[in-house]
């Protein structure tokens, strides 16, 4: 039995539908408790990019055409490291089926091997116990089975069973997975896609897409291409502080009640206050319940459905004004990935030509980055990803731009991107600027303060949902209950004997007054010789981003 173009087309559609249906399950496997559990979302969005073209293909299409169209669309739509690796697996698959009308088991096996080889080459330091391991061991099992004369059905049975066995072993290869009691998220995503493909090959048909708009809960997020990526079940985002009364009951009771009337519940209990966040249809009930615990202050109620409608209008306007390729006229140009009006202004002031809106939880696609590069009127374009999960997508963009030189700098944080821009010198060569800007990245210590999205245990630290987390250069350093305390402690950790300059960037969830109080705290408690600058970045997710130089 061979696989036809029609069968391969339907199989990939089925695989895409399966990961879309299960993306939340995959997202939840991310072990780090900060709000960036987006592996399933990134993988689903990457493969979904191929669906429009696949669905238009006729039944007499060749496997070569199906594989080529899929690989091209996935490369352009790749998001996050997991999405890029997935696109590279399908790119190798396309190379193996090039020029073929139909495919035998040997063809599929060889194509999968090429994909695995391509994916491993793309990662500077491949980590075993990830999607790479699951794909490789599946490929090795498939090669052995194909050599024994297996047909297509037997081959995909082998691929999925080997993927499952490999996935189950990932906790033994990565201690962090074992401690969290989960398997690798990317590996799970790969298995889910292969199971979707297997359904068609086995004659069980295309797995239906069960997604209704989107089942991602939470505030609306607009990615760089402008697509709205949130489904709103509850209308009102309700936030307030409770100044606790003397005989205040346990805040857990407030959390328990709020969970009965809404979702996205965060209740942070401090010595004197309780911070509350909930999405609900009945904000009045949330406020009434809060009054039982003390006096309410800093009330904020927003209609998210109305915000959603307004955002959709902006999205449509953005599509109509989609950036057109600009003629490369000047010598140097810059593209930066960043999220937050204040941060966008900072990078623009530093000379960045094109801003791609994105960052944590909102990874732009390779195509988003390509469009920004083409909209930059320069012969040499430096790209600043400013996030470790966006670097690979940016590097794939280099292959798609032919009329100008693209240099992707390895900026993993916003402060690193700022430092790189400051180090640029227009009188120097492209190579020398690349060296100087890269050196500037390494001189910046970056801290960030955010919140835990779930209970967890990480690096021997017990974490509760709503706890304040402080990261040092991307690694969890502190667990606190108070945002300002976390900011002070992480900043103090970053300060070295030769440090002289601190930049504190506060986000959209921090008021100007709170930011000023945090600034005064740092000025009072840190060395007087340190220069401290406070900036309104407007970034989501992170209360504060701090750089120390």
Half-sphere CA count of 454, side-chain side, radius 13 A? 14
Lowest mean pLDDT among 207-221, 260-274, 294-308, 341-355: 207-221
Residues 45 and 199: their CA atoms lie apart, in Å, by 21
pLDDT tier at 232, thresholds 50, 70, 90:
low
What pLDDT shows up at residue 498?
85
The C-alpha atoms of residue 19 and residue 187 are separated, in whole angstroms, by 12
Residue 475's contacts (CB-CB under 8 Å, 6 or more residues apart) are none
Question: Which of 411 and 349 is assigned the larger pLDDT?
Answer: 411
Q: Give the model confidence (pLDDT) of 347-357 as tens digits.
A: 888 889 999 98
Query: Once rounded to an integer, what is the mean pLDDT over residues 218-236?
Result: 44
The dihedral through the CA atoms of 390, 391, 393, 398 has a sign that is positive
Buried/exposed 182-220: b ≥16 CB within 10 Å, e otherwise = bbbbbbbbbbbbbbbbbbbbeeeebbeeeeeebebebbb
Q: What percent of the chain has pLDDT over 70?
A: 91
In the chain, DSSP finds a helix count (H) and a strand count (E) of 21, 16
pLDDT in tens, 355-381: 998 877 678 899 999 999 999 999 999
> Which tokens hold the place of 97?
């089926």
In tens, the pLDDT along 19-44 reads 999 998 898 887 665 655 588 889 99
Q: Give the Cα separation of 236 and 393 in Å (integer).
A: 35
Confidence of residue 146 (pLDDT cuts 50, 70, 90): very high
Q: How confident is the model at residue 224 (pLDDT cuts 50, 70, 90)?
A: very low
pLDDT tens for residues 282-331?
Answer: 999 999 999 999 999 888 888 877 776 775 665 555 555 555 688 888 99
Q: Cα(263)–Cα(233) distance, rounded to whole angstroms?
A: 9
pTM above 0.85, yes or no: no
Angle formed by the axes of helices 105-122 and 131-147, nearest 10°: 150
Strands 378-384 and 405-408: parallel
Dig out the tokens for 418 from the structure.
């700022």
Tell how far CA 531 is from the center of its chain. Answer: 33
Using DSSP bridges, classify how beta strands 294-303 and 405-408 pair: parallel, antiparallel or unpaired: unpaired
**pLDDT averaged over every residue in the chain:** 87
- DSSP E strand boundaries for 307-404: 330-338, 354-357, 378-384
- Bridge partners for 79 per DSSP: 365
**In this structure, are strands 405-408 and 445-451 parallel, antiparallel, or unpaired?**
unpaired
pLDDT at 222 exceeding the cut of 70: no
Centre a 10 Å sphere on the Cβ of residue 248 and count the other Cβ atoms it contains: 16
**What strand order describes the sheet that includes 501-506?**
475-480, 468-472, 445-451, 544-548, 501-506, 531-536
Neighbour tally for 249: CB within 10 Å = 12
In this predicted structure, the answer to whether residue 219 has a pLDDT above a threshold of 60 is no
Query: Could you tell me the pLDDT band of residue 193, with boundaries at 50, 70 and 90?
Result: very high
* pLDDT of the residue at 541: 84
Cβ 267 vs Cβ 255: under 8 Å: yes
* Selection from 38, 99, 94, 96 nearest residue 69 by Cα: 94
Contact 343, 538 (CB under 8 A): yes
d(CA 442, CA 197): 44
Residues in the chain: 549
User: Between β-strands 544-548 and 445-451, what pairing exists: parallel, antiparallel or unpaired?
Assistant: antiparallel
Between these two residues, 27 and 429, which has the higher pLDDT value? 429
Contact 34, 540 (CB under 8 A): no
Give me the percent of the chain exceeding a pLDDT of 90.
Answer: 55
């Amino acid at each position: 039995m061979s696989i036809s173009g029609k069968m391969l087309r339907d199989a990939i559609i089925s695989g895409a539908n399966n990961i879309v249906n299960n993306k939340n399950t995959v997202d939840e496997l991310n072990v780090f408790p900060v709000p960036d559990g987006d592996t399933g979302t990134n993988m689903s969005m990457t493969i979904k990019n191929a669906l429009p073209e696949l669905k238009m293909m006729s039944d007499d299409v060749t496997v070569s055409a199906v594989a080529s169209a899929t690989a091209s669309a996935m490369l352009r739509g790749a998001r996050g490291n997991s999405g890029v690796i997935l696109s590279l697996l399908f790119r190798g698959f396309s190379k193996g089926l090039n020029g073929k009308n139909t495919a035998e088991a040997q063809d599929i096996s060889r194509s999968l091997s090429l994909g695995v080889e391509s994916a491993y080459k793309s990662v500077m330091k491949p980590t075993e116990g990830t999607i790479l391991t699951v794909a490789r061991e599946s490929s090795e099992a498939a090669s052995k089975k194909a050599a024994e004369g297996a047909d297509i059905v037997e081959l995909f049975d082998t691929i999925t069973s080997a993927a499952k066995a490999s996935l189950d072993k990932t906790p033994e290869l990565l201690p962090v997975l074992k401690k969290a009691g989960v398997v690798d998220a990317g590996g799970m995503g790969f298995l889910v896609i292969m199971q979707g493909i297997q359904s068609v090959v086995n004659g069980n048909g295309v797995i239906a897409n069960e997604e209704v708009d989107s089942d991602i809960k939470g505030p609306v997020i607009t990615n760089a291409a402008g697509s709205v990526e949130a489904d709103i079940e509850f209308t009102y985002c309700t936030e307030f502080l409770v100044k606790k009364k003397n005989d205040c009951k346990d805040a857990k009771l407030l959390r328990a009640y709020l969970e009965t009337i809404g979702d996205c519940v965060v209740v942070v209990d401090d010595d004197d206050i309780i911070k509350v966040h909930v999405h609900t249809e009945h904000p009045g009930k949330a406020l009434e319940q809060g009054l039982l615990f003390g006096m309410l202050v800093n009330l904020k109620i927003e209609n998210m459905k109305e915000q959603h409608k307004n955002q959709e209008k902006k999205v449509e306007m953005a599509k109509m004004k989609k950036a057109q390729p600009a003629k490369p006229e000047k010598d140097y140009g810059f593209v930066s990935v960043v999220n937050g009006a204040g941060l966008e202004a900072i990078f623009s002031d530093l000379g960045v030509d094109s801003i791609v809106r994105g960052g944590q939880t909102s990874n732009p696609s390779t195509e988003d980055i390509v469009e920004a590069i083409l909209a930059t009127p320069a012969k040499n374009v430096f790209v600043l990803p400013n996030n470790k999960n966006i670097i690979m997508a940016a590097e794939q963009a280099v292959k798609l731009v032919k009329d100008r030189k693209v240099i992707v700098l390895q900026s993993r944080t916003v402060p690193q991107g700022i430092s790189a821009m400051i180090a640029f010198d227009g009188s120097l060569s492209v190579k020398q600027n690349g060296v100087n800007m890269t050196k500037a990245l390494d001189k910046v210590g970056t801290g960030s303060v955010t919140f835990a999205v779930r209970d967890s245990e990480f690096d021997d630290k017990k974490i509760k949902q709503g706890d304040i987390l402080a990261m040092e250069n991307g690694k969890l350093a502190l667990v606190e209950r108070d945002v300002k305390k976390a900011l002070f402690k992480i900043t103090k950790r970053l300060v070295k004997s030769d440090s002289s300059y601190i930049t504190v960037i506060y986000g959209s969830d921090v008021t100007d007054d709170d930011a000023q109080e945090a600034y005064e705290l740092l000025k009072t408690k840190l060395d007087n010789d340190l220069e401290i600058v406070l900036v309104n970045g407007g970034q989501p997710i992170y209360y504060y981003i701090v750089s120390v130089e």
